[in-house]
Structure 1
Amino acid sequence: MANTVPRNTLLGMLEEIRRQQMKKYLLHRMFLVAMLPENTDGGEVIAFHEQLFKRIAKFHLGEPVSGVLLIYSSCILHVLESSSGTLYHILKELAASENQGPEPFLRDVKILVVSHNIPTKLFTQWYATTVDVPEILEDISQTQTTEEVITECLTLILKLGVYLATLKVGNKGLGDCLHSVVPELLIRTETIKYLCKAEKCLSPQEFLDLYDNPLQPVMDSESVWPTPAHLFA
C-alpha cells in the first residue's frame, strides 16, 4: 500500500487562523544579563523579581511571566517570556533601579536579544535558582566577536529550556543543582561579565529610548512656527 502524504485542508487552515485570533496577547522572549553588587544574596534577587512581577500584574493585564533566572556569584542571566506590555514595564523598572544611586540593585544590565511573536513558550513557569559555576579568567574579546558570543549563549539557553521542559518541577522550584546535573548547558561566568560590558548590547534605558522614539521623526521644516509666508515687495 502506497504511503499517503499529509496535506493541509481548508478546514485545518481556518482552525489555525481561529486559534491565532483567539490569542489574547502575542508572546515575546527577552534575554538579559546583569552584574550583582558585592554581598548580594540570591534570595534577595529572587524576591526582587517576584515583587516586581506582582506589582506589574496589579495595574497591567498581560501574559504571566515565564522564564528562568540563573543567579551566579557575581552576575545573573535572565530569560523572560511574556506580552510586550509586561516586558516594557519590566524594562522601565530595571532602568529606574539602575538610576537609584551609586549602589543599584543590579548593575550593567544588558539586553542580548528580544525574540518577537514566538509561537509558544519555552518555559512552563518562571524558574529561579542559584548556580555554582567556577570562574575562569579568560579574555573572550580576543577570540570571539560579540555576535559569536551571543549566538553561543542563546544556543545553550534554548537547550537548557528544552531540558527544563522535561522535568517535573514542584512548587519548591528547581533547587540548586543545575551546575551538577547539566553543567554543559550553563554559560560561564566570564562570558556573562563580558556581555555586561559589551557596547553592542543595549541597556534597558537605551532600549526604551529607541522603543519610544517615532519611526518617522519630525523634520525641522515641519516644526517651524509661525508658518513661513511669502514676502511681497
Structure 2
Amino acid sequence: MTAHTRKLNKKPFPLESLLVPQVPRGNYLHFQEEKQRLQLKKLLLDRIFLVAELTANTEKKDIAEYYDQVFQSISKRHLGESVTGLLLVYPTSILHILESSNDTLFRILLDYINHEENDTDFFIKSMKIVVVSHNIPTRLFIQWHVSVIKVPVLYLDDVTQSQSLEEVIIEFLTQTHMLAHHIFKTVKMSSKGPGDNLHQVTPELLLPEQIVKYLCKSEEFLDPKTFINMYNKPLHIILDSEVVWPAPSRF
C-alpha cells in the first residue's frame, strides 16, 4: 500500500495542471483568418481616371460645389470609404482622379448620368472613363483637391497627331502618377491643396489639354452609362463541353 500510495502521489493534482502557465500557440490558419478579418473591416478601394469637356464659361466654383454636394449626399445615405483625388480644371476640359469604394464611385457616375440625361444645361459633357484600378493597395491622395490650370499653354506640336493611342495612354498615366506623388509629398493634411498655380510650380508634370480633349473624343473609351450597363450585365459563357452536336431532340 505504501508503494502504491507513493506512485499516486507522483501524479499531479488536476487543479495543479490547470495552474501551470500555458504558452499560447497559434497556427498558420488562425493567422490567415485574423488577417482576413482585419482586412474586411474596410471596404476595398478603387481608383478611376475620368476626362470630360466643359461648357463655355464654367467656373471652378460651380464644379467644386457640384462634386462636394455629390460626395456629401452619398456619404449620408450609404456607408463607404471617403473620396480622395484630384480634379484639374482646364479652360475647356477636366481631368478627374477619384479614389473610394467601388459602390461610392459607381454612385458618382450614376449622378453624372442622371444630369446628362435630364439636365440640358449641365456643364460637364462627353465624359470618358480612361482607367479603372480595382483593389488598390494605397491611396495616391490624402484628400480631394481642385486645381485650376489658369494659363493655357501653346504647344508647337500636337502629340496626339504623331503618337499612337497606346503611347498617349502611357504618357497620360505616367504624368498623372508623377503629379500625384508630387502632391502627396508637398501638400499637408487639412490644407487647401496644391492651389491654382501648378502650371507655374510643376509645368513639366501637367498634361497638355490637347491630350485630355483627345481622350474625350476617343471611341476606344467608355462613357459612364455604357460602362455601368456593361458592369451590371450578367455574363454568360458557353463552354465547349456544353455544346452538343447534333442538338438534342425531344421524342
1:148 to 167, 184, 188: 167
Q: TM-score, normalised by structure 2?
A: 0.77
Name the aligned partner's letter for residue 193 of structure 1.
K
Q: Give 1:183-222 correspondences, 5 Å limit.
A: 183-216=203-236
Q: Which moved more, 1:19-28 or 1:131-140?
A: 131-140
Counterparts of 1:21 and 1:105 in 2: how far apart (Å)?
39
Deviations 1:160-196 (A, max 9, x none): 1111111243443322111111111111011111110
Name the aligned partner's letter for residue 124 of structure 2.
L
Describe the SS at the equivalent of 1:99: helix
8 Å contact kept, 1:37–1:74: yes
1:159 to 173, 178, 190: 178
Counterparts of 1:164 and 1:172 in 2: how far apart (Å)?
12
CA RMSD of aligned residues (A): 2.5
8 Å contact kept, 1:36–1:76: yes
Counterparts of 1:86 and 1:38 in 2: how far apart (Å)?
29
Q: Tell me the CA shift for residue 151 of structure 1.
A: 1.5
Q: TM-score, normalised by structure 1?
A: 0.82
Q: Tell me the CA shift for residue 75 of structure 1.
A: 0.6
Listed as ranges, the gaps of 5+ residues in structure 2 are 1-27, 239-248
8 Å contact kept, 2:160–2:211: no
Counterparts of 2:157 and 2:176 in 1: how far apart (Å)?
21
8 Å contact kept, 2:141–2:180: yes
Counterparts of 2:102 and 2:58 in 1: how far apart (Å)?
29
Listed as ranges, the gaps of 5+ residues in structure 1 are 1-9, 219-228
Counterparts of 2:44 and 2:164 in 1: how far apart (Å)?
32
Name the aligned partner's letter for residue 226 of structure 2.
E
Counterparts of 2:119 and 2:72 in 1: how far apart (Å)?
24
